[in-house]
Structure 1
Amino acid sequence: MEIGMDRTTATTPTAASATATATPARTPANADPPPPLGLLEYLDLGDHRSVRAKRETAFEAALLAEQVGYQRLWLPEHHSTGVPSPNPLLLAGVLGSHTTRIRIGTAVTLIRVRDPHLTAEDVASAAFFCGDRLDVGFGRGDVAGSAADALAYLRKGGDATDEAIRTVVSVLDDGRDWIDPLDTPYERWLHGAGTRSAELAGEMGFNYCHALFFNVDVDACTRTLNSYRAAFPNGRTAVAAALVANDDPVIARTDSIRAGIKVNCAGTAEQCAAAVCKLLELTGADEVVITEMSRSADDHLRALKEIFGLVAERLGGRPRSAGPADRAATGGEER
């Protein structure tokens, strides 16, 4: 099992415009509350598979996540050949129309290379299909590779990127002469792996998700989350971690070797579940959002089910009480 979470004082397991009450994933009456676990479906399993096959697996994973009890399903934005997720808001609308309980969202929408007004229109379209289950997650990152040159004319600097996020929110809240305001509540998230995104999330009243698969320093993650909480006590926090769950250590290690992403735990499903629970304990985050990176579609779907069940067993089927778990940054008609 591979360890991909650095901590100096503890060892992780190897292997509408105002703050309002969150809209959690719905739980049937008299059922045990689900564990604080979400899914970031990366959609790029195995370089040898076609885009169509990857989308089919992601769609099946979304339905599975809804069935077993994941609280959220987030989709990334990537621009490269063989990557099936260039517009996560479009895909969010599709998945929203095929689910009824799980929250659906983006992780992330790369606003640095997107027009804020057109992005607001995309959010409104996705909200129609997702209802009040929509999570809108912004990232301040950039595109790489050949897309970096092709999209250079759209690229904004840091300050302009931050202002574009504010513009999207303003358009959704107030509308424009040619755009109706959004009348559906949604959750606002900022994603990052350093301090600036967390600071901006606190300033703007967004929830914050820290990507541990970009920066594996758990101490730095915890400090960032604590600073965010001090700036915005009502916000919700999440940690995103990359896992590979396989009983075969050779397959687990092989699948964990990824360009541009650091797998935080590669081992058995039990070891991955232990890593998730340890992250909740160490960081005090309200939830962990996993991206499971097995290259085989069958392994991926099996791992998603096994990890969820094992995390639920470890937590006794109860959400954690630490942190402002019942509050979140929302937008929409509830002002």
Structure 2
Amino acid sequence: MAADEIRGETHGTAPTPLSVLDLVTVGSGTTATEALRTSATLARQAESRGFHRYWVAEHHSMPGVASSSPAVILAHLTAHTTRIRLGSGGVMLPNHAPLVIAEQFGTLEALAPGRIDLGLGRAPGTDGATAAALRRTDRLDEGADDFPQQLAELIRFLDDDFPDGHPYRRIHAVPGPVQATSPGGVQSPHRPPVWLLGSSGFSARLAGTLGLPFAFAHHFSAHNTVPALDLYRESFRPSELLDAPYAVIGVSALATDDPKEAARQVRATGLNMVRLRTGRPGLFPSPEETQAHRFSAMEEEFVASWSANIVHGTADEVRSGLDDLHKRTGADELMLTSHAHRGELRLRSYELVADAYGLPTAA
């Protein structure tokens, strides 16, 4: 796998490649159908404006997040795009059998050759009860503890190279390399590169040790960003995939024409997180709902802390915030996730960021 399938090309005046992380947000008064239509529109827009990749995140049992099945959504997006890289940010490996993931992403690779990323996380992407339902076990610690072994198994399926004597030696992920060794088979020049995702040091160290690209969730674990990236770089060992570390950070960013609107949407994001953290997840609230909510002192403190890590305001303000974040972290790529009650605000945000950096518009 060539390293240039990982590294992005910087366009315009952006200091580093820019990408998109989509949670397929469902606002109150809207439907998942509308949210998914927005995602398809956003993927086309991101491609036309020079964003490098478009990832979808796996979450479960959250009414305001319609991305429980990244592989299904990505298959849909392959039909709406032609150039932009598509991937998972990420698939939560302990929730799934490695063979199933290898089959899903082998299928995606066949649909969009050379454009698929397989980002993996070890968290459940939901609460404990939902994770137990997904995994059919109450021993949730097993999935996290076994992550390195599950990862190794998944990579073996993707490469179709279990050693002789292994119980899975005669099992093959299809579509996959085994088709090239069948009579009349032709070897595909691509296979989805594996990324590790994380919000702490565990995945950072593992990604470095294995020589894999790493994506850090700065958007919800900002205080750990620099230590995790330092650990990743210190742990990095060159591999066939990468000869040097490559780190992406997820950034919550919202640009609007009116900075007051950005502040209103950010406060709604805060209420959404309050509900989630107190076990009452719902649809993404409107600014009007948020204004009517009576925040307790503790909730106000939480919202202020959460909002401090969201880069928001006018296009110039967002650009300044992203530039500063890049300088502080040295990230090789910034992956922007924009949260707003209405899909058109999310679309406008990415357009404003692209304009602020002078990203070209494809013909």
For Structure 1 versus Structure 2, the TM-score category normalised by the shorter chain is 0.7 to 0.9
Which is richer in strand? 1
Distance 2:251 2:12 in 1: 25
Q: How does 1:281-300 map to 2 (within 5 A)?
A: 281-300=327-346
Counterpart for residue 209 of structure 2: 203
Deviation per CA, 1:266-311: give whole Å up to 9, x if none.
2222211211111111111111000011221111111111112213
Alignment check: 8 A CA contact 1:93 1:127 kept: no
Moved more, 225-234 or 96-105: 225-234
**Residues 245 and 294 of structure 1 are in contact (CA less than 8 Å); yes or no, is this contact kept in structure 2?**
no
Cα distance change of structure 1 residues 65 and 138 upon mapping to structure 2, 3 Å threshold: same
Matched, 1:63 2:10: no
**Which residue is 2:200 aligned to?**
194
Higher mean C-alpha displacement, 159-168 vs 133-142: 159-168
Give the Cα–Cα distance (whole angstroms) in 2 for the partners of residues 148 and 250 of structure 1.
38
User: Which residue is equivalent to 2:288?
Assistant: none
Amino acid aligned to 1:79? H
- Match of residue 112 from structure 2: 130
- CA offsets, 1:115-153, max 9 Å, x none? 111111111011111211111100111143452342252
Q: Separation in 1 of the partners of 2:81 and 2:323?
A: 27
Per the TM alignment, residue 253 of structure 1 is displaced from its structure 2 partner at its CA by: 2.4
Task: Name 1:320's counterpart in structure 2.
Answer: none
Conserved? CA contact 1:244–1:293, under 8 Å: yes
> Gapped runs of 5+ residues in structure 2?
162-168, 178-187, 239-243, 278-305
Q: Of residues 230, 235, 244 in structure 1, which corresponds to 2:234? A: 230
Q: Which has the higher helix share?
A: 2
User: Quick check: 1:240 aligned with 2:244?
Assistant: no
Q: Which residue of 2 aligns with 1:3?
A: none
Amino acid at match of 2:172: I
Determine the C-alpha separation between the residues in 2 that align with 1:273 and 1:302. Answer: 14
Aligned residues of 1:209 and 1:240 also touching (Cα < 8 A): yes
Map of 2:100 onto structure 1: 118
| Whole-angstrom distance in 2 between the partners of 1:271 and 1:85 | 29
Alpha carbons of structure 1 residues 187 and 149: separation in structure 2 relative to 1, 3 Å: closer
Aligned with 1:177 (options 152, 158, 170): 170
> Hey, what does 1:73 align to over in structure 2?
54
SS in 2 for 1:131: coil
Cα distance 1:143–1:237, how it changes in 2: closer, same or farther (>3 A)?
A: closer
Identity %: 26
**Residues 13, 357 of structure 2: 8 Å contact kept:** no
8 Å CA contact retained: 2:99, 2:154: yes
CA offsets 1:11-69 (integer angstroms, 9 cap, x no match) = xxxxx5xxx42226898xxx969751000012014233211010001110001000111
Aligned CA distance change for structure 1 residues 75 and 213 (closer, same or farther; 3 Å): same
Amino acid at match of 1:174: D
Aligned to 1:90: 72
Go from structure 1 to structure 2 and tell me whether the alpha carbon gap of 1:25 and 1:305 turns closer, same or farther (over 3 Å shift).
farther
Structure 2 counterparts to residues 14-53 of structure 1, below 5 A: 16=1, 20-23=2-5, 36-53=17-34
**Displacement of 1:81 after TM fit?**
5.1
Match of 1:280 in 2: 326
Alpha-carbon separation, structure 1, partners of 2:46 and 2:26: 17
Give 1:242's aligned amino acid. S
Segments of 5+ residues of structure 1 without an aligned counterpart are: 1-15, 318-335
- State the secondary structure of the residue aligned to 2:357: helix
Partner of 2:122: 140
Q: How far apart in 1 are the matches of 2:194 and 2:48? A: 24
Q: Which has the larger radius of gyration?
A: 2
| TM-score, scaled relative to structure 1 | 0.79
Contact persistence 1:25–1:101 (CA under 8 A)? no
Return the alpha-carbon distance in structure 1 between the equivalents of residues 154 and 333 of structure 2: 26
Output the CA distance in 1 between the equivalents of 2:211 and 2:318. Answer: 32
Whole-angstrom distance in 2 between the partners of 1:64 and 1:74: 14
- Contact 1:134–1:186 (Cα < 8 Å) also in 2: yes
In 1, Cα distance between equivalents of 2:8 and 2:212 = 22
Matched residue pairs, number?
291
Distance in 1 between the 2:91 and 2:109 partners? 15
Structure 2 residue aligned with 1:100: 82
CA displacement, residues 86-125 of structure 1 (integer Å, 9 cap, x when unaligned)? 1112222221232121111000101111111111111101
| Partner Cα separation in structure 2 for residue 286 and residue 191 of structure 1 | 15
Aligned position for 2:283: none
CA distance in 2, matches of 1:299, 1:85: 19
SS at match of 2:113: helix
